[in-house]
Structure 1
Amino acid sequence: MLKPLSLTVSLALCGAAVAEQQDDVLAHAKALTQQHILVDGHIDVPYRVNEQWVDVTQATEGGDFDYPRARQGGLNAPFMSIYVPAELDASAESTALAHKLIDSVEAIVGRAPDKFAIATSVADVEEQFKQGLISLPMGMENGSPVQGSLATLKAFYDRGIRYITLAHSQSNHISDSSYDLRRKWKGLSPFGKEMVREMNALGMMVDISHVSDAAFYQAVEISTAPVIASHSSLRSFTPGFERNMDDDMIKALAENGGVVMINFGSTFVDQVARNWRNQFSQARKPVEQQYGEDSEQAQGFEAQYREEKPFPFAGVAKVADHIDHVVKLVGIEHVGIGSDYDGVGDSLPQGLKDVASYPNLVAELLRRGYSDDDIAKLLGENLLRVWREVERVAAEHNSNKS
Structure 2
Amino acid sequence: MKGRFPLSACAFALAALFSAHSTAANSPTYTASDKAVDIAQQTIIVDGHIDVPYRVKEQWVDVTKATDGGDFDYPRAVKGGLNAPFMSIYVPASLDNSPESTQLAHELIDSVEAIVARAPDKFAIAKSPSEVKAHFEQGIISLPMGMENGSPIQGDLANLTAFYERGIRYITLAHSQANHISDSSYDLRRKWKGLSPFGKSLVGEMNNIGIMLDISHVSDDAFYQVIELTNTPVIASHSSLRRFTPGFERNMDDDMIKKLGENGGVIMINFGSSFVSKEAGRWRTGLTNARKALIKKEGEDSPKLENFEEEYRKKVPYPYSTLDEVLDHIDHVVSLVGVEHVGIGSDYDGVGDSLPIGLKDVASFPNLVQGLLDRNYSESDIKKILSGNLLRVWQQVEDYAAAH
Taking structure 1 as the reference length, what is the TM-score of the superposition? 0.91
Corresponding residue for 1:180?
187
Aligned mate of 1:41, from 48, 57, 71: 48
Aligned amino acid, residue 38 of structure 1: I
Q: Is the 8 A contact 1:25 1:366 kept in 2?
A: no
1:288–1:128: structure 2 CA closer, same or farther, 3 Å change rule?
farther
Aligned amino acid, residue 61 of structure 1: D
Aligned mate of 1:155, from 162, 167, 190: 162
Aligned mate of 2:204, from 193, 197, 202: 197
Question: How far has the Cα of 1:295 moved from its partner?
Answer: 8.0
Corresponding residue for 1:314?
321
Corresponding residue for 1:6?
none
1:186-225 residue CA offsets vs partner (Å, 9 max, x unmatched): 0000000111110000000000000000000001111100
Aligned amino acid, residue 279 of structure 2: V
Question: How far has the Cα of 1:298 moved from its partner?
Answer: 2.2
SS in 1 for 2:244: coil
1:303–1:379: structure 2 CA closer, same or farther, 3 Å change rule?
same
Question: Percent identity of the aligned residues?
Answer: 70
Question: How far has the Cα of 1:293 moved from its partner?
Answer: 8.1
Aligned amino acid, residue 257 of structure 2: I
Taking structure 2 as the reference length, what is the TM-score of the superposition? 0.91
Measure, in 1, the Cα distance between the counterparts of 2:148 and 2:142: 19
Question: How far has the Cα of 1:279 moved from its partner?
Answer: 1.2
Aligned amino acid, residue 283 of structure 1: A
Aligned residue runs from structure 1 range 97-246, under 5 A: 97-246=104-253
Measure, in 2, the Cα distance between the counterparts of 1:185 and 1:278: 27
Corresponding residue for 2:365?
358
Q: Is the 8 A contact 1:291 1:298 kept in 2?
A: no
Question: How far has the Cα of 1:23 moved from its partner?
Answer: 9.3
Kindly indicate whether residue 320 of structure 2 is the aligned counterpart of residue 327 of structure 1.
no
1:356–1:292: structure 2 CA closer, same or farther, 3 Å change rule?
farther
Corresponding residue for 1:14?
none
1:68-99 residue CA offsets vs partner (Å, 9 max, x unmatched): 00000000000000000000111111111000
1:112–1:292: structure 2 CA closer, same or farther, 3 Å change rule?
farther
1:320–1:24: structure 2 CA closer, same or farther, 3 Å change rule?
closer
Aligned amino acid, residue 69 of structure 1: R
SS in 2 for 1:356: helix
1:54–1:190: structure 2 CA closer, same or farther, 3 Å change rule?
same
Measure, in 1, the Cα distance between the counterparts of 2:115 and 2:332: 37
SS in 2 for 1:236: helix
Question: How far has the Cα of 1:26 moved from its partner?
Answer: 2.1
Q: Gaps spanning 5+ residues in structure 2: where?
A: 1-28
Measure, in 1, the Cα distance between the counterparts of 2:194 and 2:403: 28
Greater RCO (Cα-Cα under 8 Å, separation 6 or more): 2
Corresponding residue for 2:88?
81
Aligned amino acid, residue 176 of structure 2: S
Corresponding residue for 1:65?
72
Q: Runs ≥4 in structure 1, deviation > 4 angstroms?
A: 22-25, 288-296
Question: How far has the Cα of 1:302 moved from its partner?
Answer: 1.3
- Greater Rg over alpha carbons, structure: 1
1:36-70 residue CA offsets vs partner (Å, 9 max, x unmatched): 11000000000000011100000000000000000
Measure, in 2, the Cα distance between the counterparts of 1:63 and 1:293: 29
Q: Gaps spanning 5+ residues in structure 1: where?
A: 1-21, 398-402
Q: Is the 8 A contact 2:32 2:366 kept in 1?
A: no
1:23–1:265: structure 2 CA closer, same or farther, 3 Å change rule?
closer
Corresponding residue for 1:7?
none
